[in-house]
Structure 1
C-alpha cells in the first residue's frame, strides 16, 4: 500500500455556531447528510461534534485534491461513527469518482477537539 494524499483541517466551533444561528437548517442541509444530522441530534456538544465532521470533510477534500471545488459537494463525503475505533469515511458522487481515479482503497481519519477548535487529519491509501 502507498499513501496517495494527506489532508489536515482545523475548524473553529464558534464559526459553525454562527452559521447555524444565522442560517439554521439551511446550513445543516448544505453541509451534512441525514445520517450525520441524526447522529448529532440531541448531543450536548452538537456544534462541536459537527465542527469535527466539517473539518474531516475538508481534510478528505484535500486528500482527493479537490478542495471545495471540482464538483465535490459537502454531502459527497459522509463521516460515520464506529463503536470502537476511528470514524469511517463513505464517499458518494464526485468524491467517490476522484478516489477511484487516484486508486484510493482506504481512507484513514482522525478527529480531535480542543477548546473552540476541531481538527481532522485524513490519509488516502492506494
Structure 2
C-alpha cells in the first residue's frame, strides 16, 4: 500500500552556487557518511558530475521528507537518509539513527529514483507499507 509520494526538482546551478558560497560545507551538511565517500570520489574525477550527484541526493532527501509527511524535521534530518546505488545502478535508500527506527516502527520502505540532465536534477520517492 502506498503511504506517500514526494517529488523534488532543482536547478543544479543553484546548488553549485550554494556549494561555492559555503566553501563545500554544504555537502557535509546534506550528505550521510556513505554518500560523502561517493561524492568525494565523483567530484575528484569530474567536478560537474560530483555536483550533479550532490543535487540528486538533495532532491531525494526533499522528496523523501514530503513522502513521509514530516518535511525536514525529526526524525528526518539531512544526513539520516542516504540514497546509494546498487551494483546495477538502481538507487536505494538507507536510514540512520532515529529515522531508521521511525521507518522500522511504521513498517515502511521507500522506493527512490533520481535523475539529472544538464541543468536540472529530480527525485521521486514512493513510500509503501511493507
TM-score with structure 1 length normalisation?
A: 0.88
| TM alignment of 1:1-126, pairs within 5 A | 2-41=1-40, 42-44=44-46, 45-104=49-108, 106-126=109-129
Separation of aligned partners in 1, 2:54 and 2:63 = 14
Separation of aligned partners in 1, 2:45 and 2:127 = 30
- Native 8 Å contact 1:110 1:121 kept in 2: yes
Aligned positions, number: 124
Q: CA RMSD in A?
A: 1.6
Structure 1: 5+ residue stretches without partners: none
Aligned residue for 2:29, secondary structure, equals: helix
Structure 2: 5+ residue stretches without partners: none
- Give structure 1 regions of 4+ aligned residues with deviation exceeding 4 angstroms: none
Q: 1:85 offset after TM fit, Å?
A: 4.0
- Native 8 Å contact 2:27 2:54 kept in 1: no
Q: 1:5 offset after TM fit, Å?
A: 0.8
Aligned residue for 1:125, secondary structure, equals: strand
Separation of aligned partners in 1, 2:14 and 2:106 = 32
Separation of aligned partners in 1, 2:118 and 2:61 = 20
TM-score with structure 2 length normalisation?
A: 0.86
